[in-house]
C-alpha cells in the first residue's frame, strides 16, 4: 500500500534513511498536544477496560463541540472507518465525486457497492479547481443518489463556504440525493468548524459530514474520526454494521481532552493563517511553477518544466518527501502537493524545491 | 449494545456506581504490563505519524513469536476486525459453528454473507461441552465450506489439543472445508501458544487462526489482534478489503514490546495454572451448582435453584458483575460465567455467590 504516495516506512526500509522531512502528509507541525500527553500518562489504566461500546461520553463531547446532539454523532477508527461504513449503509447506485479528490471515497464505494456507477464531476484546472455551481446543479438533474466532496478539498486546497454547501444541499434535496462532505481539514480553514454547515439550522437530513482529529491535533497514529449525520433512519443501519470497539481507549480520551485545549487550537489557528499566506507568496517567487492558493494546510503546485516523479525523487535525495499528485483523477505528472509546516522547514523546502526545479543557482 | 452482557459503562450511567468488580470480562488481573507503560511514555511522538500501512515490523515480531513467516500474519484492530474481514474474504455459503460459543462469528458471517446457511454443531451439556469428534466428522460429510470454533472455547472453558485440531483440519481438507479457530484465550491454556497448531509442520492451507493481546496482556482498550493464515491466495483479498491504518500506533508498539516481556508472561502462566484450579475447587464446595472444569481464565457454572438474571442482579447489588450466559446458543437461564482473577477478589466473589445462591448462612 502506498496510500499517501508517502509510505515513509517503506522508504525507510528501502533507502535506509535515518530522517526525512515529510511534506507528503499534512499534519499540524506543533505536534502532539501536551494536554493529551499528560492525559495519556495519567490514565494508562483505561487500557485495561473495553472502551464503552456506545462511546457515550465521547459522542457527547463531540456533539457539544459542534453545537449538535449526541444522536447526530458517530465515532470511528479514524475517518477511514466512517467512509467505508457510510458507503456500506447507503450502498449508492449512482454517485458523483467532485474530482480531483482523495481516493478513499471511491475505494469505499467500490468496496460497499461494486455495481455503483461512479461519475466524476470535473473540477477544472481552468477554474482553479473551484466548482462551477451552475454546472454542478445541472449535473444533479441527471439523478444521483450520492454526491461526494471534500471541503477543504484534498489536494486542491479549495474551500466552499457553508452557504455554498447549504445551497448545494438544498439542490440535492430536490432529487433526494445524499451529500457526503469530508471536512478532515476544516479546522485549518478560516473560521474553523464555524465555517461548517454542521451547526446550521437547516434541513440537513441528506447531509453526512466526516471529521478527523488526525490532522489538526497531529495524531494520525491514534485513529480518531467522527461523523455528523442528521438522518435518524441511518442510526439503526450503522448499529447493525459497525464493528464493536473500533475506537481505542486513548482515542476516546483524546476526544474528551482536545476540544477544550483552547491554547493549542488558538496557537494553531494563528500559525496557519500566517503560514499558508507566507508559503503561497514565497513559492510564488519560484519560476516555472504555478501555485494554487490554498485555504488549508497544504498547497498544490503545477510545474512547467519538470515532472512530479523526477521532483519527488530529487527532493527525496535532499531528505524531503513531497506528494507526487499525478495519480489523482484529472491531475497529471505536472502536479505535486506540499504540506504547510513550520517556518524553518518551509524555508528549507522552498529553497530545495527551487534548486530541483530551476537548478542550484537560479532565483537566488 | 451489550456485547458482554457486561457493558459496565451503561451500568455506571444507569446505577451511578463508583466501582464495580467486573467478573464478566476475562482480563488478566495483573493489569497493563509495566513494559508497555514505559514504552508508551517514552514513545508518545509515534502518534504524530501514520502507522506503517504494511505493519511490517509488527507482523515480523508476531511471526517470530509464533514460529511462522511474515506473509502468514495479518494485524487487526482487535480480533473483531479480523473476524469480520475473514468472513468478507471467504463469504461462506454453509458454515458450521461449534456452539455454545462467542456470538461475533455468527454476526460476522451474517454481515458478510447474509445468505449463508449457518448450522450449529451442538456441544452437548451431557458431554461437558467437549466436542464428540466422531459426530463432528460425520457432520462434515454434509458439505460445509467453513467450520468455526473457539479454542479454548468461550464460554465453556474447554480446550482441544493441537493434535485434535490437526485431526479435524485433515478431515476438513477432504471436503475443502476451511477451519476458523479463535485462539483469543490460548495463552491461558496449559502450554500456551505451544499448544496451538500454528507452528506445526502440516498442511494448514485451510486453517485460519485469530489471536488477540486483549485478554492475556490486559489491554482491551488498545485494540490489537492478529490472524495467522496459510492460504496465500487470501492475501490479495485481504489487501483489497482491509481498511487502511486500522491498527493504531500504540497497539503496534504493544505488539513489538510485549512478546518479549517474559517476566509478565511467566508470572501470568504461574498464576493461571494455580488459580483456575483453586477457583474450580472452591466453587465446587458451593451447593446447588455445577462447575465446569476450565482450561482457561473463566469458568462456566450451572445453577440448579436460581436463575442467571436473578443472580446477576443480586451480585450487582453486592458490587460484582457476572456474565449472564443465558443468551449463548444452547445455554439457558441456568448458566453464568465468571472470570478467574486474583485470589483476594476470587475469594470475595466465591463468598458472595454462595450467599446469593444459598442464602447468607449456608455453606459457611
Give B194-233 pLDDT, tens digit per residue: 999 999 999 999 999 999 999 999 999 999 999 999 999 9
Mean pLDDT of B269-275: 97
At residue B243 the predicted structure's pLDDT band, cuts being 50, 70 and 90, is: confident
Residue A109 domain flag: yes
Write down the residue that cell numbers 485470589 correspond to. Answer: B343
Q: Assess whether A310 and A200 both reside in one domain.
A: no
C-alpha cell at A359: 537548478
Q: Assess whether A153 and A238 both reside in one domain.
A: yes
Quick check: helix, strand or coil at residue A178? Answer: strand
C-alpha cell at A147: 454526491
- Above 80 in pLDDT, residue B116? yes
Residue A218 domain flag: yes
Is there a contact between A223 and B239 if contact means CB atoms under 8 Å apart? Answer: no
A178 vs B1, higher pLDDT: A178
Give the Cα separation of A83 and A102 in Å (integer). Answer: 11
Label the pairing between strands A335-339 and A323-324: antiparallel
Residue A40 domain flag: no
Residue A37 domain flag: no
User: What pLDDT digit, counting tens, does each position of B57-76 carry?
Assistant: 999 999 999 999 999 999 99
- B interface mutation test: which of A248, A252, A339 has the most B CBs within 10 A? A248
Q: Assess whether A205 and A336 both reside in one domain.
A: no
Q: Assess whether A108 and A185 both reside in one domain.
A: yes
Write the residue in B52, B111, B248 that is nearest to A251 by C-beta: B248
Give the Cα separation of A290 and A300 in Å (integer). Answer: 9
Label the pairing between strands A225-229 and A320-321: unpaired
Write down the residue that cell numbers 480520551 correspond to. Answer: A253
> What pLDDT was estimated at residue A11?
67
C-alpha cell at B149: 470454533
> What pLDDT was estimated at residue A361?
54
- B interface mutation test: which of A27, A82, A218, A223 has the most B CBs within 10 A? A223
Contact partners, residue B142, CB within 8 Å, separation at least 6 = none
Q: A258, A290, A321: which is the final residue of a domain?
A: A258
- DSSP β-bridge partners for residue A74: A227
Q: B258, B287, B309: which is the final residue of a domain?
A: B258
Q: In percent, how much of chain A has pLDDT > 90?
A: 88
Beta carbons of B97 and B106 less than 8 angstroms apart: yes
At residue B177 the predicted structure's pLDDT band, cuts being 50, 70 and 90, is: very high
In 3-state terms chain A splits into helix, strand, coil percentages (rounded to 5) of: 45, 15, 40
C-alpha cell at A185: 481539514
Interface of B with A in 33-92 (CB under 8 A): 37, 40-41, 44-54, 56, 77-78, 80-81, 84
C-alpha cell at A291: 501555485
Q: Assess whether B166 and B205 both reside in one domain.
A: yes
Query: Is B250 an interface residue toward A (CB < 8 Å)?
Result: yes
Question: What single DSSP character describes residue A255?
Answer: H
Q: Assess whether B337 and B314 both reside in one domain.
A: yes
Residue B363 domain flag: no
> What pLDDT was estimated at residue B326?
97
- Above 90 in pLDDT, residue B145? yes
Is there a contact between A54 and B10 if contact means CB atoms under 8 Å apart? Answer: yes
- DSSP β-bridge partners for residue A226: A75, A211
> What pLDDT was estimated at residue B364?
42
Write down the residue that cell numbers 511474515 correspond to. Answer: B70
Contact partners, residue B193, CB within 8 Å, separation at least 6 = B65, B66, B183, B186, B187, B199
Q: Assess whether B50 and B198 both reside in one domain.
A: yes
Q: What is the 3-state secondary structure (H, E, C) of chain A?
A: CCCCCCCHHHHHHHHCCCCCEECCCCCCCCCCCHHHHHHHHHCHHHHHCCCCCCCHHHHHHHHHHCCCCHHHEEEECHHHHHHHHHHHHHCCCEEEEEECCCCHHHHHHHHHCCCCEEEEEECCHHHCCCCCHHHHHHHHCCCCCEEEEECCCCCCCCCCCHHHHHHHHHHHHHCCCEEEEECCCHHHCCCHHHHCHHHCCCCCCCEEEEEECCCCCCCCCCCCEEEEECCCHHHHHHHHHCCCCCCCHHHHHHHHHHCCCHHHHHHHHHHHHHHHHHHHHHHCCCCCEEECCCCCCEEEEEECCCCHHHHHHHHHHCCEECEECCCCCCCCCCEEEEECCCHHHHHHHHHHHHHHHHCCCCCC
C-alpha cell at A90: 447507503
Give the Cα separation of A127 and A108 in Å (integer). Answer: 28
What's the structural domain count of chain A? 2
How many degrees, rounded to 5, is the angle at CA B338 between CA B337 and CA B339? 130
C-alpha cell at B91: 463469504
Query: Is A122 an interface residue toward B (CB < 8 Å)?
Result: no
Beta carbons of B333 and B307 less than 8 angstroms apart: yes
- Burial tier of A273 (Cβ tally within 10 Å: 0-12, 13-18, 19+): exposed
User: What pLDDT digit, counting tens, does each position of A50-92 carry?
Assistant: 899 899 999 999 999 999 999 999 999 999 999 999 999 999 9
Neighbours of A212 (CB within 10 A): 23
Query: Is A10 an interface residue toward B (CB < 8 Å)?
Result: yes
Residues of B in contact with A111 (CB under 8 A): 240-241
Range A116-131 burial, b when 16+ CB lie within 10 A, else e: bebeebbbebeeebeb
Q: B212, B236, B258: which is the final residue of a domain?
A: B258
Q: Assess whether B84 and B205 both reside in one domain.
A: yes
User: What pLDDT digit, counting tens, does each position of B16-56 carry?
Assistant: 555 789 999 999 999 999 999 999 999 999 999 989 989 99
List the single residue in A with minimal CA-CA distance to B28: A48
Query: Residue B174 maps to which CATH number?
Result: 3.40.640.10
Question: What single DSSP character describes residue B51?
Answer: -
Give the Cα separation of B116 and B148 in Å (integer). Answer: 13
Give the Cα separation of B217 and A22 in Å (integer). Answer: 34
DSSP states of B41-83 as a string? HHTGGGGGS---TT-HHHHHHHHHHTTS-GGGEEEESHHHHHH
Residue B266 domain flag: yes
How many degrees, rounded to 5, is the angle at CA A319 between CA A352 and CA A294? 55
Residues of A in contact with B3 (CB under 8 A): 53, 244
- Find how far residue A6's CA is from the centre of its chain: 15
**Among B86, B24, B330, residue whose Cα is nearest residue B211:** B86
Residue A1 domain flag: no
Residues of A in contact with B219 (CB under 8 A): 47-48
Q: Assess whether B113 and B95 both reside in one domain.
A: yes
Q: Assess whether A111 and A212 both reside in one domain.
A: yes
Domain of residue B100, residue span: 34-258
Q: Assess whether B232 and B286 both reside in one domain.
A: no
Query: Is A222 an interface residue toward B (CB < 8 Å)?
Result: yes
State how far residue A136 is from chain B, nearest Cα, in angstroms: 30
Beta carbons of A286 and A355 less than 8 angstroms apart: no
Q: How many CB pairs under 8 A join A and B?
A: 155
* pLDDT tens for each residue of chain A, 364 residues long: 334 445 666 766 666 555 789 999 999 999 999 999 999 999 999 999 989 989 999 999 999 999 999 999 999 999 999 999 999 999 999 999 999 999 999 999 998 999 999 999 999 999 999 999 999 999 999 999 999 999 999 999 999 999 999 999 999 999 999 999 999 999 999 999 999 999 999 999 999 999 999 999 999 999 999 999 999 999 999 998 888 889 999 999 999 999 999 999 999 999 999 999 999 999 999 999 999 999 999 999 999 999 999 999 999 999 999 999 999 999 999 999 999 999 999 999 999 999 999 986 544 4
Beta carbons of B28 and B215 less than 8 angstroms apart: yes
Query: Is B1 an interface residue toward A (CB < 8 Å)?
Result: yes
User: Side by side, which strands form the sheet with A146-150?
Assistant: A73-76, A225-229, A207-212, A178-182, A146-150, A94-99, A117-122
- DSSP β-bridge partners for residue B119: B96
Query: Residue A13 maps to which CATH number?
Result: 3.90.1150.10
ipTM for the complex shown: 0.88
Give the Cα separation of B81 and B225 in Å (integer). Answer: 8
Containing B165, the helix (H) or strand (E) segment is: helix B162-174
Is there a contact between A77 and B77 if contact means CB atoms under 8 Å apart? Answer: yes
User: What pLDDT digit, counting tens, does each position of B280-304 carry?
Assistant: 999 999 999 999 999 999 999 999 9
Is there a contact between A221 and B9 if contact means CB atoms under 8 Å apart? Answer: no
Mean pLDDT of chain B: 93
Its sign, for the CA torsion A174, A178, A182, A188, is: positive
Residue A105 domain flag: yes
Q: Assess whether A23 and A114 both reside in one domain.
A: no
Amino acid at each position: 500500500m502506498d496510500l499517501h504516495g508517502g509510505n515513509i516506512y517503506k522508504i525507510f526500509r528501502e533507502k535506509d534513511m535515518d530522517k526525512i522531512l515529510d511534506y507528503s502528509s499534512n499534519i499540524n507541525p506543533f505536534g502532539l498536544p501536551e494536554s493529551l500527553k499528560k492525559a495519556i500518562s495519567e490514565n494508562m489504566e483505561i487500557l485495561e477496560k473495553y472502551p464503552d461500546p456506545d462511546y457515550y461520553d465521547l459522542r457527547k463531547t463531540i456533539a457539544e463541540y459542534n453545537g449538535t446532539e449526541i444522536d447526530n454523532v458517530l465515532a470511528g477508527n479514524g475517518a477511514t472507518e466512517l467512509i467505508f461504513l457510510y458507503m456500506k449503509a447507503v450502498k449508492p447506485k449512482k454517485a458523483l465525486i467532485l474530482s480531483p479528490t482523495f481516493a478513499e471515497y471511491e475505494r469505499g464505494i467500490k468496496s460497499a457497492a461494486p455495481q455503483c456507477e461512479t461519475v466524476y464531476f470535473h473540477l477544472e484546472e481552468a477554474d482553479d479547481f473551484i466548482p462551477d455551481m451552475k454546472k454542478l446543479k445541472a449535473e444533479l438533474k441527471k439523478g444521483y443518489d450520492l454526491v461526494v466532496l471534500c471541503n477543504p478539498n484534498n489536494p486542491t486546497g479549495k474551500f466552499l463556504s457553508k452557504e455554498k454547501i447549504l445551497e448545494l444541499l438544498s439542490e440535492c434535496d430536490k432529487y433526494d440525493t445524499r451529500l457526503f462532505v469530508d471536512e478532515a481539514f476544516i479546522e485549518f480553514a478560516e473560521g474553523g468548524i464555524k465555517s461548517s454547515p454542521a451547526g446550521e439550522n437547516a434541513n440537513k437530513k441528506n447531509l453526512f459530514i466526516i471529521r478527523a482529529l488526525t490532522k489538526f491535533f497531529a495524531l494520525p497514529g491514534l485513529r480518531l474520526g467522527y461523523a455528523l449525520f442528521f438522518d435518524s433512519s441511518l442510526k439503526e443501519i450503522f448499529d447493525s454494521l459497525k464493528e464493536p470497539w473500533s475506537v481505542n481507549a486513548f482515542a476516546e480520551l483524546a476526544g474528551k481532552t482536545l476540544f477544550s485545549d483552547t491554547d493549542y487550537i488558538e496557537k494553531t489557528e494563528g500559525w496557519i493563517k500566517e503560514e499558508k499566506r507566507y508559503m503561497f507568496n514565497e513559492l510564488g517567487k519560484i519560476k516555472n511553477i504555478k501555485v494554487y492558493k490554498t485555504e488549508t494546510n497544504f498547497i498544490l503546485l503545477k510545474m512547467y518544466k519538470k515532472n512530479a516523479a523526477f521532483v519527488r525523487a530529487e527532493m527525496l535525495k535532499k531528505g524531503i518527501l513531497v506528494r507526487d499528485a499525478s495519480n489523482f483523477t484529472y491531475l497529471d505528472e505536472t502536479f505535486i502537493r506540499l504540506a504547510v509546516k513550520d517556518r524553518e522547514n518551509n524555508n528549507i523546502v522552498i529553497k530545495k524545491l527551487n534548486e530541483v526545479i530551476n537548478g542550484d543557482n537560479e532565483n537566488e
